[in-house]
Amino acid sequence: MNLLRPFPIIAFLLLGLLFFNSCNQSEKKAPKITKDSLKRRSIKDWNKTIPGNFNSEQELFFDTLQLESFITAHPLLKEYTASIQKFYSNRHFAFAWYNKNGLIEQAGNLTDRVKNLKDEGINKDIPYRASLDSMIYAKSTKKPNIELELMLTAQYFVFAKLAWEGMDASISKSSEWFLPRKKIAYDAYLDSMIKSPAKFAGTTVAPVYRQYDLLKNFLIKYRELEQNDQWQPIVADKKSYKPGDSSAVIAQIKTRLFKLEDFKGDTTDTHYNDEFLLAVKQFQERSGMPADGTIGPGTLTELNTPIKKRIRQLLVNMERSRWLPVQIDSSYLGVNIPEFKLHVYHADSLLWSGNVVVGQSIHKTVIFSGDMKYVVFSPYWNVPTSIVRNEVLPAMRRDKSYIKNHQMEITGYSGGLPVVRQKPGPKNSLGLVKFLFPNSYDIYLHDTPSKSLFGESSRAFSHGCIRVEDPAKLAAFLLKNNKGWDDNKIKTAMNAGKEQYVTLKKKVPVYIAYFTAFIDRNNRLNFRKDIYSRDEPLANMLLKEE
């Protein structure tokens, strides 16, 4: 992720999807959009292709009994009754998809979109597809048809739920995804599009976290690859390939990298040249590997990953994108666990990124969010009970000087166990500073004396907390609104050997997410290993109807 322009939340945090071109737009200036009409969110955050150029003249009306009859005749749409009712109540039951000239163009655009849900990564079909087809393609669409009018609106809400909202919240929770699910008033969104259509002509922004549309574009490409290429495994004829080497296998790898859009040169050339080196490094980088240019077993394994598996990754991460908040206007931090990266944003603009160490598979870092409130310089480390029981006590039995040698102290006893803390200093397991956003999971960000771990390509080593590579830089960012905290003062506090809490003048949101496929700021598709084995269960739920 990169949480990417990647994340930003996570900005892991807004592109998007759906709004139609209007061929007969009036040159008249669109009316001003007010906060009231947009309600919770600016219209720029929404997808403009579905509503497009609706009828705002409100010349044609129907009554609520006709809506009740429609739902009775179409029970599979019953769950959308409240949304449809609210939408039409706000417009006094005026037709939306018809004007005095007949059915508007956007009706066909919506129909095309909802009938092709597979392009949205949805493995379902819309209810009453045949009925919609027969009505929308009828010989005459001039005369208002209340059934088609209500069917189109109902299908809009079907699409919003499937493509924008995603699976039920119980599914995300079962996936141990505790980030807040987005909340959007889709009826208000549709209504605002109807009232001011011209203002949004030609835009393509959806009410979905921007990674969704970026991933969607690659989903289409990868499905084309699956259809048109056998993707047979490339078999090496030597242990590795480096610049200057020559082999028929190199030509095969060039062909594959060409299809993956990393290489643009001659795919028949069997020599490992400079142009090929750049392509290999790019592929390795977006695969989360050391970009050294050497093609060994690891790189070949990534090259040979079946397209079907990659498509499953794209579908899973598109679904996760549906769950995230669409946009955040303030500064915030985003951590993408499988990427082992911290991303620092301001209003969805990526400021900088840094390496992090996350929890081991047996000590998973939790997917959740919180508000950063404190920076703690020269911190004590209050050793968790589980670590005291499983690690400290056995070490104390082996070495009576263990507590002293590790700058620890026992401050009391609880439940038959010593209460242990480690004193501030360069050997402290939390390093010289920690960053607290109070939460029930007891997870926070902190420095570490084990700097060498940041050089590893896979960095799942902690007990669940997140170790940051450049803690001084992060402290400076968080304390930018606290007067007097320049680089020198931060450095002094980090090395003071005395614990000091600093309360942030302005809390900073923190989002810890889990994306194994994402688009980086260079518009390149990245894949990462599913270190916590969270992809397959979700993929199976998404594709269970296949």
The domain limits of the chain are: 35-207, 232-305, 381-423
Closest CA to 70 of 131, 117, 27, 2: 131
The rounded mean pLDDT for the chain is 87
User: What SS3 class is residue 222?
Assistant: helix
Residue 40 — very low, low, confident or very high, per pLDDT cuts 50/70/90? very low
Using the predicted structure, report yes or no on whether residue 456 has a pLDDT greater than 80.
Answer: yes
Percentage of the chain lying above the pLDDT 70 cut: 85
Please provide the size of the chain in residues: 546
DSSP 465: S
pLDDT tens string 406-427: 999 999 999 999 999 999 999 9
| Token couple for 170 | 């119980």
pLDDT value of residue 208: 83
pTM of the full structure: 0.84
| Whether pLDDT at 57 is above 60 | no
In the chain, the N- to C-terminal Cα span, in Å, equals 28
For strands 445-446 and 466-468, give the pairing: parallel
Q: Look-up: residue for tokens 């088609």?
A: 148
- Topology classification of domain 232-305: Muramoyl-pentapeptide Carboxypeptidase; domain 1 (1.10.101)
User: Measuring CA to CA, which residue among 499, 502, 363, 377 is closest to residue 443?
Assistant: 363
**Cα separations in angstroms, 217 against 13, 163, 511, 543:** 18, 14, 25, 19
Which residue is associated with the tokens 């899973």? 316
Residue 327: is its pLDDT beyond 80?
no
What pLDDT is stored for residue 205 in this prediction?
A: 57
**Model confidence pLDDT, tens digit, residues 202-234:** 344 567 888 999 999 999 999 999 999 999 999
Burial of 32 (0-12, 13-18, 19+ CB in 10 A): exposed
Given the DSSP bridges, would you call strands 500-513 and 331-336 parallel, antiparallel or unpaired?
A: parallel
Least confident of 167-181, 262-276, 359-373, 487-501: 167-181
Q: Would you name the residues annotated as active-site residues? A: 446, 465
Residue among 325, 338, 342, 334 nearest 364 (CA): 338
